Structure 1
Amino acid sequence: MPKVTHDKGECIGCGSCTLYAEHYFEIDKEDDAKAHLIRSTQKGNMEILDIEDFEMEVNIDAARGCPMSCIKVLGDDGRILGE
């Protein structure tokens, strides 16, 4: 199953991801003003969300739009997609 990862430690909170994938990312204004990957699990600074194939395109767009490159979309084989 494909995954989206978001390294919150690298995030600067610019919000570009929310423009591309508003149903997946939000700015956490109450905590640290950084992006948050909605419905994700967290391991350290890394947020991880399993997605379906039809959800890859908007998340790849969000990854490409991230100035810090802290968003990755991984295919079933673990390969980074959209780079």
Structure 2
Amino acid sequence: MVRISQQRVKCIGCNACVEAAPYRWRMSRKDGKCTLIQAVEKRGMFNILVTDDEYDANVDAAMHCPVNCIKIEQV
């Protein structure tokens, strides 16, 4: 399993994560920030556990995030 975490308050809406993994990320029309699809928010952090097949695309999303608000870890 892979845990994806996002500190959404830091997001600047650059769209890099959406381009890397469009099935897991989308742009919000409300505030222009990226949203981690199906994530659960707890104390400002959005988290989701996904299968290993999403690892590579989301590592790419985290690497291209200019504000480093995305963390990926295998659990």
- Measured against the shorter chain, the TM-score band is over 0.9
Query: Displacement of 1:44 after TM fit?
Result: 2.7
SS in 2 for 1:9: helix
Residue segments in structure 2 that go unaligned for 5+ positions in a row: none
1:29, distance to aligned residue in structure 2 (A): 1.0
Q: Deviations over 1:21-75 (max 9, x none)?
A: 1010101112x21000001101132110101111101000000010011011011
Whose helix fraction is larger, Structure 1's or Structure 2's? 2
4+ aligned runs moved over 4 Å, structure 1:
none
TM-score of the superposed pair, with normalisation by structure 1: 0.85
Q: Which residue of 2 aligns with 1:52?
A: 51
TM-score (norm 2): 0.93
Q: Whole-Å Cα distance in 2 between the matches of residues 36 and 56 of structure 1?
A: 17
Gaps of 5+ in 1: 77-83
| Corresponding pairs, count | 75
Cα-Cα RMSD: 0.9
The answer for the alignment partner of 1:16 in structure 2 is 16
Counting aligned pairs with the same residue, the percent is 32
